[in-house]
Amino acid sequence: MKRRILIVDDQKGVRRLLEELFKKDGWEVHLACDGKEAIARVDETLPDIILMDMKMPSMNGLEASQKILARNNNQAILMMTAYGEMDVVQKALEAGVRKCISKPFDILDLRETVKRMLD
Ligand SMILES: [Mg+2]
């Protein structure tokens, strides 16, 4: 069965880039543009991993991750933060986010990180 990834980012360019990358690798890719949409998509798609942007309008990545993890603390989430946001990183990890990666990131590093998180 294909591994499923949910990519959550308010920037269309980022969503497109990551969608292309993971589709090429054979993943089933789902997309959401903010935290609220992410929460709805999780129930529909049951992703193996969620790639979650931090800064988004309507509901940010930290709040969305907290809500998702409150319902399923086994959900693997990788959060994309801005460089230097150490307070946010700490809060995310405390909430149960598995890992944080700071933007801008090398997409090949990101791909490796995602793979390693699920192995
Ligand atoms: Mg953003």
What is the structure's pLDDT at 82? 87
Pairwise CA distance, residues 40 & 71, whole Å: 13
Pairwise CA distance, residues 21 & 16, whole Å: 9
Interval between CA 1 and ligand 1 midpoint (Å)? 31
What is the structure's pLDDT at 114? 97
Give residue 109's domain range.
4-118
Contact between 10 and 57 under an 8 Å Cβ cutoff? The reply is yes
| Those residues with Cβ within 8 angstroms of residue 52's Cβ, 6 or more apart along the chain or in another chain | 8, 38, 61, 64, 65, 77, 78, 79, 80, 97
What is the structure's pLDDT at 83? 81
Interval between CA 11 and ligand 1 midpoint (Å)? 6
What is the count of structural domains for the chain? 1
Give me the average pLDDT of each 10-residue run along the chain (119 residues). Answer: 95 97 97 97 96 94 97 97 90 96 93 94
Nearest C-alpha neighbor of 8 from the set 45, 43, 54, 46 = 54
Interval between CA 51 and ligand 1 midpoint (Å)? 12
What is the structure's pLDDT at 22? 97
What is the structure's pLDDT at 85? 86
CATH number for 54: 3.40.50.2300
What is the structure's pLDDT at 84? 82
Interval between CA 98 and ligand 1 midpoint (Å)? 19
